[in-house]
């Protein structure tokens, strides 16, 4: 009886890993659409997708890997000058150009090697939904 439970658990982890890789692939595809709006990927840039401002902040760029941060910028409705502010999430994005994957980690996960696969799926799925929402709501893509 214990053997079948352990076998189920190993299959469950494999399914989660495959699902995580699919999310990485989808995130890569969505971000490549947004990346077209950045003229110089070597420096901090602002992307405008409809009414959404996103700040792109590169950390490290090599031939096959880009490591960066994204900050969603908000407009301050109380200020008539249309000042913006951004909340800096503790997320690090790693774009693997050769594997065509976009992985998102928290700062804690990037410092530690071991992380729960459930946390990775949750974070990357939230980023997928966020990117998809911003791109689909953009007039250019409709």
pTM for this entry: 0.75
Q: Given this model, what pLDDT does residue 116 score?
A: 81
Lowest-confidence pick of 88-92, 119-123, 126-130, 132-136: 132-136
Compare 13 and 54 and report the one with higher pLDDT: 54
Q: What is the mean pLDDT of residues 37-44?
A: 80
Q: Given this model, what pLDDT does residue 3 score?
A: 46
* Rounded distance between C-alpha atoms, residue 60 and residue 93, angstroms: 10
User: CA torsion sign, 39 to 45 to 48 to 54?
Assistant: positive
């Amino acid at each position: 009886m214990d053997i079948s439970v352990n076998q189920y658990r190993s299959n469950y982890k494999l399914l989660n890993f495959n699902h995580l890789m699919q999310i990485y692939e989808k995130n890569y595809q969505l971000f490549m659409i947004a990346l077209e709006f950045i003229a110089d990927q070597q420096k901090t840039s602002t992307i405008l997708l409809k009414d959404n401002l996103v700040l792109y902040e590169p950390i490290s760029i090599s031939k096959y890997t880009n490591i960066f941060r994204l900050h969603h910028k908000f407009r301050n409705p109380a200020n008539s000058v249309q000042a913006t502010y951004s909340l800096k999430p503790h997320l690090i994005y790693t774009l693997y150009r050769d594997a065509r994957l976009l992985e998102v980690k928290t700062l804690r996960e990037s410092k530690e090697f071991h992380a729960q696969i459930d946390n990775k799926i949750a974070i990357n799925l939230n980023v997928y939904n966020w990117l998809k929402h911003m791109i689909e709501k953009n007039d250019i893509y409709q």
